[in-house]
């Protein structure tokens, strides 16, 4: 049974209380719920709609919409029809979306927002057929209506699916700035869902019953999509956040057992607790501050008797209240991936009694290579390799991977595929290290690609080139932001702050929100071969620049956060 048949079987399985499996929160507390059988009815309706579109197995279909129950139904519908789903980020600039769609040549564009669809059509006059979600899921389509059981049977029927069959193309940015389509197969997904479910069984100690999961990350990201499919396979209740401004309240309403995160959110949660306690003041602040200092001394091996007292008091009087207000009382663990997580942040949540399980992987590895063992978490490490996946270190400590999770190749880019495959090993572009027990640590990027704390991958060169052209007098522009919440730049040369700000004001509005530069520093002395910050052929030594200007970079981010 392949992963799709497995999911459909779970959706169809008898359920005495007909418990929902998907829920969208509205107004922070109540919303729309969907049972397994209702989801199958959505799928049957969408399949009847697509039946008249003359689509063939292997055709690409672009899915351009924010997270929703309909997104889930459309994704499952397309896979059941034998189509290749191309999920796209609805907040991305229309011209970038069009570039990706031109690359994969979709037979159909399914969009949830008429305004966005109009923007796409204005950018791409020759766009293929388009359909809005309101059409796909509206009542009264031609064809059989039948009973609920008949509709469900139609929803579940699908063409044979071999392990080698491509099921999705997920676009990821490369160092050139040109997105590449990562082709993932049924075999990749079959294996990955088995691994994720296995690790979650360990986390939940094989606890029976329905688990509660909260979700806010876009489904077009590989890790987010794998979490969705895993929840469907396990018949969990997945609560979808559709408004990031209500994230904090909805986390508490969902009362999850676990959920997937990016480091940026954990950093914000940590900062919010500090700010709230500073406002509260008094004994809670005093106890919290002393306990934090005691915890850090303990991690450094400098434990004292008084430290044990402060930590003991905080664990009884302060930390439980923080946990309950932050996330609710059911939480077993936070799962974190997509970008480097600061060790201090992981230790902070551990201090509160909240496990943070790290996951490491790339889109090309079906999102995951390693996962923390819930029974053995070491701050700063990302866990051992998942089942049947091999990992080793190559030249420059680059992490190399092989196994059933590795993608089949980049869409229409055989040379790019060949570049990252050598002797059967996929070259990740990440630097790492591994201890004797097989627990991995990711040190940094071999390539220049910047990974924000939100998980967005950004090639710095196109932004640097555009800014440099807009700033006469500037000699170099270096984009920073790996693991941070936003991008910043170092500008060298004879240029005023006013001119830099003017250039940013002109360029930022045309960029997606995650590519906008939000802080900068002017460095009068240019980088050169003589001062050791350029290579012999004039390329930036990015790591050395970051190391030499470490304090200036930290100050740049602190000033921005304070403002």
For the stretch 402-432, pLDDT in tens is 999 999 999 999 999 999 999 999 999 888 8
Alpha helices in 175-241 (DSSP H): 186-203, 222-234
Q: How far apart, in Å, are the Cα atoms of 345 and each of 76, 297, 355, 380?
A: 36, 15, 11, 10
Count how many Cα atoms sit within 13 Å of the Cα of residue 358 in the half-sphere of its side chain: 28
Kindly list the domain boundaries of the chain, sorted by start residue: 3-257, 264-329+331-445, 459-562
pLDDT > 70 in the chain, percent: 93
> Please, what is the average pLDDT of the chain?
89
Nearest CA-CA partner of 512 in 479, 451, 449, 463? 463
The Cα–Cα gap between 293 and 175 comes to 41
Max Cα–Cα distance, the chain, nearest Å: 78
Question: Which homologous superfamily does the CATH classification assign to the domain defined by 3-257?
Answer: ANL, N-terminal domain (3.40.50.12780)
Predicted local distance difference test score (pLDDT) of residue 174: 52
The pLDDT of residue 175 is above 50: no
What is the mean predicted confidence (pLDDT) over 356-372? 96
Q: Which CATH architecture has domain 459-562?
A: 2-Layer Sandwich (3.30)
For the stretch 305-363, pLDDT in tens is 888 999 999 999 999 999 988 888 889 999 999 877 888 889 999 999 999 999 999 99
Nearest CA-CA partner of 67 in 182, 220, 264? 220
CB burial of residue 512 (10 Å; 0-12, 13-18, 19+): middle
Centre a 10 Å sphere on the Cβ of residue 36 and count the other Cβ atoms it contains. 24
DSSP, residue by residue, 231-249: HHHHT-EEEEP--GGGHHH
Token reading at 118: 């109009």
Question: Which homologous superfamily does the CATH classification assign to the domain defined by 264-329+331-445?
Answer: ANL, N-terminal domain (3.40.50.12780)
The pLDDT of residue 35 is above 50: yes
The pLDDT of residue 511 is above 60: yes
The pLDDT of residue 176 is above 50: no
Predicted local distance difference test score (pLDDT) of residue 172: 87
Q: Is 186 helix (H, G, I), strand (E, B) or coil?
A: helix
Predicted local distance difference test score (pLDDT) of residue 155: 60
CB 42 within 8 A of CB 137: yes
Predicted local distance difference test score (pLDDT) of residue 151: 59
Tell me, yes or no, if the two domains 3-257 and 264-329+331-445 fold the same way.
yes
For the stretch 516-539, pLDDT in tens is 999 999 998 998 877 888 765 567
The pLDDT of residue 562 is above 80: no
């Amino acid at each position: 049974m392949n992963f799709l048949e497995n999911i459909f079987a779970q959706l169809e399985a008898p359920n005495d209380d007909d418990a929902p499996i998907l829920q969208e929160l509205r107004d922070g507390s109540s919303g729309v719920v969907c049972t397994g059988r209702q989801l199958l009815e959505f799928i049957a309706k969408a399949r009847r709609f697509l039946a008249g579109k003359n689509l063939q197995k292997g055709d690409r279909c672009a899915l351009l919409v924010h997270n929703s129950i309909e997104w889930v139904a459309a994704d499952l519908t397309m896979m059941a029809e034998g189509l290749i789903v191309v999920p796209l980020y609805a907040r991305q600039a229309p011209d970038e979306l069009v570039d990706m769609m031109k690359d994969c040549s979709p037979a159909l564009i399914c969009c949830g927002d008429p305004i966005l669809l109009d923007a796409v059509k204005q950018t791409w006059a020759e766009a293929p057929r388009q359909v809005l979600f309101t059409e796909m899921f509206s009542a009264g389509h031609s064809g059989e209506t039948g009973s609920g059981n008949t509709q469900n049977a139609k929803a579940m029927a699908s063409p044979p699916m071999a392990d080698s069959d491509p099921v999705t193309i997920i676009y990821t940015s490369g160092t050139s700035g040109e997105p590449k389509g990562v082709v993932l197969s049924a075999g990749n997904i079959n294996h990955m869902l088995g691994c994720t479910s296995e690790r979650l069984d360990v986390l939940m100690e094989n606890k029976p019953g329905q688990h509660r999961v909260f979700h806010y990350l876009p489904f077009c990201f590989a890790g987010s999509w794998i979490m969705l499919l895993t929840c469907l396979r396990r018949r969990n209740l997945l609560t979808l956040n559709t408004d990031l401004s209500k994230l904090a309240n909805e986390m508490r309403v969902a009362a999850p057992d676990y959920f997937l995160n990016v480091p940026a959110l954990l950093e914000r949660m940590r900062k919010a607790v500090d700010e709230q306690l500073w406002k509260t003041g008094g004994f809670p602040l005093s106890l919290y501050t002393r306990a934090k200092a005691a915890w850090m001394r303990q991690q450094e091996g400098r434990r004292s008797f008084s430290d044990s007292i402060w930590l003991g008091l905080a664990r009884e009087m302060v930390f439980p209240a923080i946990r309950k207000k932050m996330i609710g009382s059911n939480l077993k663990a936070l799962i974190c991936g997509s970008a480097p997580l600061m060790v201090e942040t992981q230790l902070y949540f551990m201090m509160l009694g909240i496990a943070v399980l790290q996951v490491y992987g790339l889109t090309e590895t079906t999102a995951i290579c390693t996962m923390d063992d819930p029974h053995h978490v070491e701050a700063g490490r990302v866990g051992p390799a998942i089942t049947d996946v091999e990992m080793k270190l190559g030249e420059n400590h680059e992490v190399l991977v092989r196994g059933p999770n590795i993608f089949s190749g980049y869409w229409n880019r055989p040379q790019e595929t060949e570049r990252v495959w050598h002797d059967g090993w996929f070259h990740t572009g990440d630097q790492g290290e591994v201890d004797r027990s097989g627990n991995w640590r990711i040190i940094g990027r071999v390539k220049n690609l910047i990974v924000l704390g939100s998980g967005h991958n950004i090639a710095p060169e196109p932004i640097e080139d555009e800014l440099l052209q807009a700033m006469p007098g500037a000699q170099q522009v270096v984009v920073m932001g790996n693991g941070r919440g936003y991008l910043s730049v170092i500008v060298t040369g004879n240029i005023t702050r006013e001119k830099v700000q003017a250039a940013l004001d002109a360029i930022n509005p045309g960029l997606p929100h995650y590519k906008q530069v939000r802080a900068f520093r002017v460095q009068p002395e240019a980088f050169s071969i003589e001062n050791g910050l350029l290579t012999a052929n004039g390329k930036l030594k990015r790591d050395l620049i970051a190391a030499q200007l470490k304090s200036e970079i930290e100050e740049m981010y602190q000033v921005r956060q304070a403002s």
